[in-house]
Structure formats: structure tokens, C-alpha cells
Chains A and B, each alone.
Chain A
Amino acid sequence: MPVISFEHVTKVYPLPAGDVVALDGVDLAIEKGEFVLIMGPSGSGKSTLLNIMGSLDVPTSGEVTIAGKKISRMSDDELTLLRRDHIGFVFQQFNLIPLLSVVENVEYPLILKGGQNGSRERAKEVLRAVEIAETHFTHKPSELSGGQQQRVAIARALVNDPDFLLCDEPTGNLDSKTGTAIMSLLDRMNREEGKTIVMVTHDPRMTEYADRTIRLVDGRVVE
């Protein structure tokens, strides 16, 4: 069974000037263990696709199944729990919580899931796996370099052992050397840990890491 599947998914944004069709009958399936790129020009519907895959939004018509669950008619709370338990987000701007230390940022999803039992240890374990030095655990995110912040963000995405990682231009805010290091980390997670990774990017060089690429134009998948 695919981790993510879209069947005739359409997303329409009603605007006063007329409806905007962001996704137009999209069909796709992402299998467990795949590393999939989503590419397309601005306005092609990448963000909408990403939002729906991340269960931040639901389709206007068609059905989306994430981790075996149909999301079309889910309540806000059900969608939130789906994000919490099955999806790991990695953003272009890292999006760590400034108030929390590095280790607390990683621990946070575990606390949401309930119980602090062993959460600190688990957070440290994942931080070590993404190669963050122990001395940085208690620092605030702002005291870390961009590359290190993105590693912490990846650790936070991984800590709940999600069904897939959803990465939105994860190297977009990094210089090329750091970006390559982050890509190697994601690549390693995919190859060694078998993590499913879906990544939205503009950067054609990323295709070398991916098993396949889904291209979007005007809200449709083209191949």
C-alpha cells in the first residue's frame, strides 16, 4: 500500500475574481522507501500539493490517502494528529521554535504525543544521528549555523518515527556546501533507514538523489 496516494485530486480556491484551480485531477502514489522530488515552475501547484500531502489542507474533490487514512472529511483535530504521528516536516526556513533549546525543539513532538518518559533520551539519540555535537544540545537555535539548524529540524521531523518526511526546499536557505551536506544526510536517512522522503525543490541538481521526479505544470502532473 502506498504511503501517499492521490486519486483525481482537485483543489480550487474560490476568489472574487474567479476560481483558481491549483490542482487539476492529480493522480499519484508514493511507495514506502521512495525518495521523490516534486518540481515545477512557480504557480504550478507545488505548494498546494505539499500542503495537502502534509494534511495542512484537504482537497476540493478527489481523495487523498495518507498512511492508510482518507483525509477529505477529517476534522481539524484529526488532521493535526495525522501530522503529529505520521508526517515529518522539514522547512526551507528551518522553523525551529526560538524559545526552546535545541534538544527541547526535538523533544517537543514527543511531548505532544504524551508523556515525557524517555523523551529527552530519544531526542538526544536522534540529534546524535543527525550529527549535532552534544555541546550544542542546550543552545538556542539562533546560536547555531543554518546548516546545524536544518539538522536539528530534520531531527525534530524524525523523532516521532513518521511514515515520511515532507521537505520544502530544505537547502534553499543554505550555501551549496552546507546544502550538499544536508542532502547527504537525507540521502543516508533514505538509504540506510529506509525513510520515505518527498521533497519540493526548484533545484535540478537534486534529481541525482531521487528515485524519481514528479513534475507539475498548471496543476497537472506531466511526464
Chain B
Amino acid sequence: MTFFDIARRNVTRHWLRSTLAVVGIVIGVIAIASLGIMGNSIGLMFENMVSDVGDTVIVSPATGVGGGKLTERQVSDIARAVGSNDVIPFSSTADKISVGDKESAAMIYAIPAGDIPSLLEVESGSYPKDTGGGCLIGSQLAANSRENGLKLGARVRIGGETLRVVGVLKERGMGFDINPDYAIVVPYAWYSSHYDEDDYDQAIVKVRDVNNIDAVKESIEQKMNRREDTVAVMDTRGILESVFAATESITIFLAGIGAISLLVAGVSILNVMLMSVTERTKEIGILRSIGTRRSEVMRMFIYEALLLGLAGAVIGGALSFGTGYVVTALFAGNADYLFHPTSLLYIAFGMGFGVFTSIASGLYPAWKAAQLNPIQALRHE
């Protein structure tokens, strides 16, 4: 028999009351864990979508200068400014396309044929050349080949000319530079002659070492905007950072809502334990009179709070896997995020916070019990 035994028996003596207190903790733990996992999954989902483009600097024409285009000369100036890093200029447009008798519309990206491999990967087929009338199709277009007829080897008519699909691109996800999954990629030479254009919409700079992004941006600004702002320079890392910061605050906000429910549970434990101290005043008087020290009385009550907290945390933690599965499947569309280390961390955090809340709520009642005057406590009926 130990103090822990005595605490355990006291907890089970009023099992209904203890169960209700535990239910409060269970709900709190589930709320923290599930909402945390939900926010975290949304963040992870976003991260997966955009992680490929973190090393990219995008150069656009400054609004109102040169009709909103980058000239060939500006592009070569940029290339000189960034040294050994790749500069990939591109233009885009939307046009009607037809394959056989199937007509549809698609986004068209025009990229110099030599630059395509450094920006995009092909899943099957090969890269097109400047000459030869080849083009690439995005993975989602290829996936819908039944509706649009676009597949490897198909002949697609754009305007009056026919191009052959020589390759299918790998899925790239949503990006800040280009979104080729639903688009057709053509060599710039073909685009230039077909649409009679010599300028580019934007240029993408692929920075080899992510740590150099700021230096690269700086040297482009130096070169291009010395006298007046001719281009706008934007790095995706900065955009990503603010997006991640936003998803992180969403996660913290959601977990905070969960924490409020745990605080409510803490108040209910406080209430249950204060009730228990009042009920057991005489018993505390007996314990004190036969030689139980204040610290030992206090320990007994804190153990009770600990037991309630542990029970709530374990049950809540186990149930969090269930609710976590549901929220990730529902909000992120992929329950795999549940088993991501940071998601599991939210379950551990919820459980830890549950135990902590219980003990914190038990401190005052335990202290109150320990401070009782043994003579008065013995007289209590």
C-alpha cells in the first residue's frame, strides 16, 4: 500500500464523478490533437504543392514600362546579372486547340527549346526541338486524353498549324512561376513565328544554391533598375515563407481553440477535487492527527489529479488517431498526413497538456487539503 494506491482508490470510490472529469480531459486532448493535426495537414498539403519552386526568382516587367513585356535584350542583361544561374524566359497565352474532331482550349507556354529541360521533366517521350513542330503536354491534360484527345504522338492543331505531341510532362503541382499541368508547352521559336512576337512575359531564374537567392535578386535589381524600375523581382521563397507562416498561425489558432476546451476540463477537475477535499475533511483530520505530514496529504491529492489526467490523456490520445484520420481525410484529402511526425507531435502535445492541466488544477485543492487544521478537521462532520 502506497500513497498512490490510496489515491487510486479515492479516484475509483466516486467512479461516476471521476469518469465525468476524465471525459472532460479526453475531449480537450482530442480537440487539441485533432485541430492541431488538421492545421498541420493543411500546411503539409500546401508544402507538398509548392515545394518544387522554392529556389526560383521571377522577373517580370515593371508595370507600365515597354508594354508589359521583357525584351530579348533585357533577358540577356538579366542572364549576365545572374552569372552561372539559368535564366528561362517564357511567354504564355490561351488558345483554342483541336485534336481530330475534338476541340478545346488550353493554356500555352512558350519556352526556348534549350531551356525546357532545366525547368520541366518529361514523364514519357522526349523534349521538343526549336524546329520540327513538337510540343509537350501537361500531366493533367494527358490524364484527360479521352475528352481532349491529347496523348503522346497525337497531332494537335493550334491556330492554323499542326504540332505533334512528343512528350508528356511529369506532374508539377501548383507553382508560383508556371502551372504546366493543364497546359501545352511549345518551343519559343515556333510561338514567336506563329504569334509574331519577339518579347517575353516573364523570366524565371533558377538559383542553384538557395542561400544565394538574396544575392541574385540584388544583382538583378542593380543591373536592371539602376535608373528607373524596369523589372519587378520576386522570389518564391519569400512568398512560401509568408504562406507557411500563415498556415502555422492557423494551426496554432486551431490548437488554441482545443486548449480552451482543455481549460474547461481543468476547471471541472478543480471543482471535483475541491468537492472531494470538503467531503474528506474529517478523513484528512484523521490522517494528519496520526502523523501524516502536510506534504504527504498534498501528494495524495496531486496523485489523484495525475491519475485523472493520465486516464484522460491515454484515452484521448488513442481516440485522437480516429478523429485525426477523419479530419485529415476530410480537410486535406489524404489521411497519410496523420502519420507525419509533426502530426503525431500534436497528439503527444495534447496528451502532455492534458496531464499538465489536470495536475495544475489539482494543485490548489491539494494545497487546501494540506493546510487544514487537524483539530478543526477532526471535528468536521
A220 at the interface (CB under 8 A from B): no
**Contact across chains for A76 and B294 when beta carbons are under 8 A apart:** yes
Separation in Å of the A117 CB from the closest CB of chain B? 13
Which residue of B is nearest A95, CB measured? Answer: B286
**Contact across chains for B374 and A56 when beta carbons are under 8 A apart:** yes
**Contact across chains for A109 and B290 when beta carbons are under 8 A apart:** yes
B105 at the interface (CB under 8 A from A): no
CA distance A146 to B288 in the complex (A): 23
B16 at the interface (CB under 8 A from A): no
Separation in Å of the A66 CB from the closest CB of chain B? 13
Separation in Å of the A60 CB from the closest CB of chain B? 15
Question: Given contacts A51-B375, A56-B374, A95-B378, are A84 and B290 in contact (CB under 8 A)?
Answer: yes
Question: Given contacts A98-B283, A99-B10, are A83 and B290 in contact (CB under 8 A)?
Answer: yes
CA distance A156 to B295 in the complex (A): 22
Q: Residues of B contacting A76 with CB < 8 Å?
A: 294
**Contact across chains for A77 and B375 when beta carbons are under 8 A apart:** no
A89 at the interface (CB under 8 A from B): yes
**Contact across chains for B375 and A56 when beta carbons are under 8 A apart:** yes
**Contact across chains for B1 and A111 when beta carbons are under 8 A apart:** yes
Separation in Å of the A101 CB from the closest CB of chain B? 9
**Contact across chains for B9 and A81 when beta carbons are under 8 A apart:** no
**Contact across chains for B378 and A84 when beta carbons are under 8 A apart:** no
A12 at the interface (CB under 8 A from B): no
Separation in Å of the A168 CB from the closest CB of chain B? 10
Query: Given A51, A98, A156, which contacts B290 in the complex, CB threshold below 8 Å?
Result: A156
Query: Given B282, B291, B378, which contacts A80 in the complex, CB threshold below 8 Å?
Result: B291
Separation in Å of the A12 CB from the closest CB of chain B? 16
User: Number of residues in A with C-beta < 8 Å to the partner?
Assistant: 29
**Contact across chains for A84 and B375 when beta carbons are under 8 A apart:** no
Q: Residues of B contacting A113 with CB < 8 Å?
A: 291
Separation in Å of the B280 CB from the closest CB of chain A? 9
Q: Residues of A contacting B288 with CB < 8 Å?
A: 80
By size class, the interface of chain B is: 20 to 34
**Contact across chains for A89 and B10 when beta carbons are under 8 A apart:** no
**Contact across chains for B291 and A112 when beta carbons are under 8 A apart:** yes
Q: Residues of B contacting A84 with CB < 8 Å?
A: 290-292
Separation in Å of the A18 CB from the closest CB of chain B? 21
Q: Residues of A contacting B2 with CB < 8 Å?
A: 111, 116
Separation in Å of the A106 CB from the closest CB of chain B? 11
Q: Residues of A contacting B1 with CB < 8 Å?
A: 100, 104, 107-108, 111, 116
**Contact across chains for A83 and B287 when beta carbons are under 8 A apart:** no
Separation in Å of the A42 CB from the closest CB of chain B? 15
**Contact across chains for A54 and B294 when beta carbons are under 8 A apart:** no
Separation in Å of the A108 CB from the closest CB of chain B? 7
CA distance A53 to B287 in the complex (A): 17
CA distance A51 to B374 in the complex (A): 10
Q: Residues of A contacting B287 with CB < 8 Å?
A: 97
Q: Which interface residue of A51, A83, A116 has the most chain B CB atoms within 10 A? A: A83
B227 at the interface (CB under 8 A from A): no
Q: Which of B293-310 contact A (CB under 8 A)?
A: 293-296
CA distance A95 to B282 in the complex (A): 9
Q: List 30 A-B contacts (CB under 8 A).
A: A51-B375, A54-B289, A56-B375, A77-B295, A80-B294, A81-B291, A81-B293, A83-B289, A83-B291, A84-B291, A84-B292, A85-B291, A95-B282, A95-B378, A97-B286, A99-B6, A99-B13, A99-B283, A100-B1, A109-B290, A109-B291, A111-B1, A112-B290, A112-B291, A112-B292, A112-B296, A116-B1, A116-B2, A156-B290, A160-B291
A residues in contact (CB < 8 Å) with B: 51, 54, 56-57, 76-77, 80-81, 83-85, 89, 91, 95-100, 104, 107-109, 111-113, 116, 156, 160
